[in-house]
A and B are shown apart, each in its own frame.
Chain A
Amino acid sequence: MRFSMLPSVFVQMFKKPWTNKFPAKYAPSNTTQFLADVGEGKAEIVPPIQTPKGFRGKIKYDKEKCTGCQLCIKYCPCEAIEFKPKEKKIKIFLARCCFCSQCNDVCPTNCLTMGDEFLLADADPYSKDLIVE
């Protein structure tokens, strides 16, 4: 058997690609412009694959339920959570968050849950999208 992969190579030419072409079928030359176009409705985005159940995405914080016990701060592995002593509430910096969901396990009142949002890249670590409070 000298060329055992040759049949696979030919089959591959006529197959649909295995990967999802996100965000567009062909890589846009200017991503910022492309995203702006999507915002205005000029271009269409290829949606990302649906996240599975139990995916650990952006943290959701139910402020009403929080009692300010600070257990999440003690067990956060990357010190992403800050305490606001006046309100007795917390502030989560997602730029530091490692999405381990340990705070959800520790929380006695279950006020923290993991969402399924994952497109969180940003140039500014303190942008509004990356702070949950």
Chain B
Amino acid sequence: MKQTATTKTSYHIPVGPIHPALKEPVYFEFEIDGERIIDVNVKLGHIHRGVEWASRKRNPIQVLYLAERICGICSYCHPAAFSLAVEAAADIQVPERAEYLRVIQGELERICSHILWAGVAAHEIGFDTVLYFTWQIREKALDLTEYLTGNRITKGIMTIGGIRRDITKDMLPRIKRDLQFFKDNFEKLRHIFLDDKTIKMRSQGAGILTKKDALKLCAVGPTTRASGVKKDVRVDTSYFAYGDLDIDYITPDVLTGNINGDVYDRIIQRLLEVKQSIDLVEQCIDEMPAGEIVSEPKIPKLMNQLKKVNGEGVGRHEAPRGEVIHYVKFNGQTENPYTWKVRAPTYNNILPWIPMLKGEQIADIPIVAASTDPCMSCTNRVAIVNNNSKYELTKEQLHKMSVEKTRRFMK
């Protein structure tokens, strides 16, 4: 389609914070010229919850569970990064077996998250059959998570100086069986996403993020790797057991030979990472040493140790969406962290939306926005609860209002 003379007036279209196309609250203001987007403005902060402030009144064990509740899908990587930060500040050495178990949990979460994303992306382009297919695989992944940790979503597996649950020998057959299931279905999924014309037509050439922009705007995770920037905390640094494992950067040119940085590349990127994660879990199971899983099982003793710490630490972990970094500072007086700063991956992936969306069609907004796998709950964490009584409704009031509303509609 050729762009002919532009009209004199442009239109402003607000999308969000509650909008059927976006799964999470974020507010876009688009400046539209016909069907084409010429400018984007993003407003955040609709679900600020004051997590960092709340941590001042909690000890590190309690903060672990607070960190877990920053985000439902990355409920492992936030406690992991927090533990890494605390361990760096207090110089706690983690047992070797725990390092491997931590990798297994992290990679399992990546499989869950990427497959969930594949389903959401398929849904955004209107391919709902694939949504059900992918979520069927994810269901299996969640069952495995429940088997290993005790819960499907909020795993509660991380602890400072180790991990809370071991993988015993009798668990291995089930894990291997499920990994085989993922592998078989991965091939099917790869075939659907990479060979199907429907997906190619919708996603190729949409939402391009160039390598230069990705570097400049500090994008992280699969978003930046799909644009060709080799940045992956798992490969770049040695934390957990990633330093021992055979792991390499994945960029979409492994499969297609060239990098465009469009939505299609981000789909390829995530699918390849699922494959990599399955491979990493298998490596871990084979190479896992025997031994302790927690450096200090007595929590009161650990707290006494943390009380004396006067220092700061940074913990970085590659979450499914990108690098998550936590900064923790202890002041040596209480065991509660003096400062805790959380940086979730979407925080850095917001600015890249602007070059991605500029020049696109309105119909492509959902898939382009979804292609970075945004997680607003992760990004918006800080809010002040101003307990205004007018917001409080009792159950009876709420019920009465709902009944009234239904009656009004039935008239």
Contacts and interface: CB of A to CB of B under 8 A. Distances in A.
A8 B150 contact: no
A56 B66 CA distance: 18
A5 interface: yes
B133 interface: yes
Interface string B189-201: 0011001111000
Interface in B32-77: 58-59, 61-62, 64-66, 69
Nearest to B140: A18
Contact of B156 (A2, A18, A56): A56
Interface in A20-68: 52, 54-56
Nearest to A100: B156
Sort chain A's interface into a size bin: 20 to 34
Interface residues of B, number: 31
Interface string B384-399: 0000000000010000
B130 A71 contact: no
A77 B147 contact: no
B65 A102 contact: yes
B146 interface: yes
B62 A77 contact: yes
A18 B139 contact: yes
Nearest to A51: B146
Contacts of B62: 75-77
Contacts of B66: 77
A98 interface: yes
Contact of B197 (A1, A8, A78): A1
A105 interface: yes
A2 to B, nearest CB: 5
Q: Secondary structure at chain A's binding surface: helix, strand, loop or mixed?
A: loop
Given A55-B150, A56-B151, A5 B61 contact: no
Contacts of A105: 164, 299
Given A56-B150, A75-B59, A101 B156 contact: yes
A123 B395 CA distance: 8
B65 A54 contact: no
Contact of B61 (A2, A9, A55, A77): A77
A101 B127 CA distance: 40
B190 to A, nearest CB: 11
B133 A98 contact: no
Contacts of B165: 54
Contacts of A83: none
Contacts of A101: 150, 156
A113 B72 CA distance: 25
B164 A4 contact: no
Interface string A96-122: 001111100110000000100000000
Nearest to A77: B65
B20 interface: no
A114 B165 CA distance: 14
Contacts of A54: 147, 150, 165
A101 B68 CA distance: 14
B299 A106 contact: yes
B406 interface: no
Interface string A69-89: 001001111100000000000
B154 interface: yes
B21 to A, nearest CB: 22
A3 to B, nearest CB: 8
A1 B188 CA distance: 13
Nearest to A49: B143
A131 B186 CA distance: 45
B129 interface: yes
Interface of B: 58-59, 61-62, 64-66, 69, 127, 129-130, 133, 136, 139, 146-147, 150-151, 154, 156, 164-165, 191-192, 195-198, 299-300, 395
23 contacts: A1-B191, A2-B197, A4-B191, A4-B192, A5-B129, A5-B130, A5-B196, A8-B133, A54-B150, A55-B146, A55-B150, A55-B151, A56-B150, A56-B151, A74-B59, A75-B62, A75-B299, A77-B62, A98-B69, A99-B151, A102-B156, A105-B164, A105-B299
Given A55-B151, A56-B151, 13 more contacts: A1-B196, A1-B197, A2-B196, A2-B197, A4-B191, A4-B196, A77-B61, A77-B65, A98-B65, A98-B69, A99-B154, A99-B156, A100-B154
Shortest beta-carbon contacts, A-B, top 9: A77-B65, A77-B62, A100-B156, A5-B129, A56-B150, A1-B195, A4-B196, A54-B150, A52-B147
